[in-house]
Structure 1
Amino acid sequence: MRCLVVGGSGLLGSALVRACLASGHEVAATYRTRPGQTADVAWLPLDVRRRDDVDALVAAFRPDVVINAAFRQADWPTTAMGPANVALAVAARGGRLVHVSSDAVFSGAAVHYDETCVPDPITPYGAAKAAAETAVAAIDPAAVIVRTSLIIGDGGSAHETRVRSLATGAAQGVLFTDDVRCPVHVADLAAALLDLAASGHHGVHHVAGPDAMSRYELGRLIALRDGLDPDRLPAGRRAGSGVPGPLDVRLECGMTRGRLRTRVRGAREFLV
């Protein structure tokens, strides 16, 4: 199978590239500023904001599957318009599209959100992700849209880097005790995305870990794994802090779980 990973040099994109190679697929991956480090991959420069460039790349590579993991939190055109450009190119050429979305599309007012829930974002990033979902679904109804939660790796994610900096005194700040998500390991998420790419399913799916926890509790687990003192992590509350964003967002994944071959682990398992 010919797989194109859009945004292949990021944390999730890199895991997707490795998972595709491990499954014996032919892989190309795009990057915006610098290529990834994985060998045996065709690394292709791409700015997803440029519709003609996206169309030309998809036309040249002719992938069977495109997985879009590209985003920039403060860049509406990349996060909202880029997925529309990808969907237009895939719809014109044929093939399977899997688009990665986020739990940021929800406000947290309902706390628990299943795959049928309609986005109600309260941040610009959440609004961009919700707009992308709408565009992808309208352009390519056969596409899979996968909402996920806080992505954790084996030390390489932004949250893990922040935890280490706070625990060692290299940075100031707090980890919120009232900001709750369902962390997912990047390798599990990548495997689940490939499961859905190979399936006949379409529409919205949720892939997140089964353990709901605060960023502070997650930070303590990361510190323990890394041999750091979790008691050195400063705690605080997001409510009243002035930091925008939802508080408690828990993705319910029951429908999706029944369609996956991959077992998605909780943070209390993969961080032990």
Structure 2
Amino acid sequence: MSRLLITGASGYLGQRVAYFAQQTTIWDKVYSQTWRNPPTAGEHVACDLADQAQLEALLEQIQPTAIIHTAAVTPAMGPAMTDQALWAVNVQASATLARWAAQHQVRLVHVSSDAVWGGREAAYTESDVPAPIHPYGASKAAGEAVVAALDPQAAIARTSLLYGQNPLDPNTTMALAMLRGERHGVLFTDELRCPVFVEDVAQALIELAQKPSLYGIFHLVGPQILSRFELGQALLAWNGIDSTGLPAGTTTASGLRRPSRVVVDNRTTQSQLSTILRSIDDVTRR
């Protein structure tokens, strides 16, 4: 019997992966791991990934034949993003999954982030070495390193800013809150990323989970470069909302140390996948 385990299935990406996996006939069972909130698709398995013994027991219990590891501690968690939590989930849990997957010859797809870099003028390719500038990025870079070392046959998928509808993504809800004056702050005009549609990423992860011949680093990002401010404008327009008055600013003026121009090249990855990673213009014109 084929069994897929999805970690972080109550997260924004994990929800979509679980939904699409449930629609396929690839796996006989789809297990959706969460810590607190129940998932919207798949058979719920509760587990605290920060508890290594608990995670190992779960793996032995359900014996997955494939794992898509979307769970992570992120800046969106606010004060809960402690150094201890970053290490326990983003690094140690990833190591536990990779070690178990390698020992049992199970396919592992590990989700990482463009936060592994600090920004530069040239685009980043799959062969560029991570160079993070903040704790979250450092934890994701460490997670990549342990997965690659413990399970060389794993696929490591880096993503960028995710967006989508039903439910609205965090980037849209943040822009909307700023526009309405419900949240303080600005969207940066000098912080560039390659946003990607959450459904494209979910489908690409499911495709990678089916193709064990594809291993190493993959860039699941969009082909279009946008500032956070431009992304906010585009997402509001997609939802029929006038973005006039959306607050803009620069990272320089903010005094914050953040990655600036993080442009990620996805052409090598795209040449290996049938799932198309679309531009935001293509998605919003649907």
Contact 2:191 2:261 in 1 (8 A): yes
1:177 is aligned, of 165, 180, 189, to 189
The list of structure 1 runs, each at least 4 consecutive aligned residues, that deviate by more than 6 angstroms after superposition, is: none
What corresponds to 2:66 in structure 1? 65
Contact 1:47 1:53 in 2 (8 A): yes
Name the amino acid aligned to 1:142.
Answer: Q
What corresponds to 2:31 in structure 1? 28
Q: Distance in 2 between matches of 1:144 and 1:126?
A: 19
Name the TM-score, length of structure 1 as normaliser: 0.95
Shift of 1:124: 0.3
1:251 match: secondary structure: coil
Q: Distance in 1 between matches of 2:284 and 2:92?
A: 35
Shift of 1:270: 1.4
1:136 match: secondary structure: helix
**RMSD in angstroms over aligned alpha carbons?**
1.3
Contact 1:48 1:86 in 2 (8 A): no
Q: Distance in 2 between matches of 1:35 and 1:14?
A: 10
Q: Distance in 1 between matches of 2:45 and 2:265?
A: 35
Q: Distance in 2 between matches of 1:240 and 1:203?
A: 38
Larger mean Cα displacement after TM superposition, 70-79 or 126-135? 70-79
Unaligned runs of 5+ in 2: 75-80
Shift of 1:232: 1.7
Q: Distance in 2 between matches of 1:110 and 1:134?
A: 25
Contact 1:54 1:89 in 2 (8 A): no
Q: Distance in 2 between matches of 1:201 and 1:54?
A: 26
Contact 1:179 1:248 in 2 (8 A): yes
What corresponds to 1:95 in structure 2? 106
Contact 1:58 1:93 in 2 (8 A): no
Shift of 1:12: 0.5
What corresponds to 2:117 in structure 1? 106
Q: Distance in 1 between matches of 2:252 and 2:260?
A: 8
Residue 211 (str. 1) matches residue 211 (str. 2)? no
- Cα deviation 1:112-167 (Å, max 9, x = unaligned): 10000000000100000000000000110110001111111215221111011112
Contact 2:5 2:66 in 1 (8 A): yes
Contact 1:180 1:214 in 2 (8 A): yes
Shift of 1:110: 4.5
Q: Distance in 1 between matches of 2:121 and 2:149?
A: 26
Name the amino acid aligned to 1:67.
Answer: I
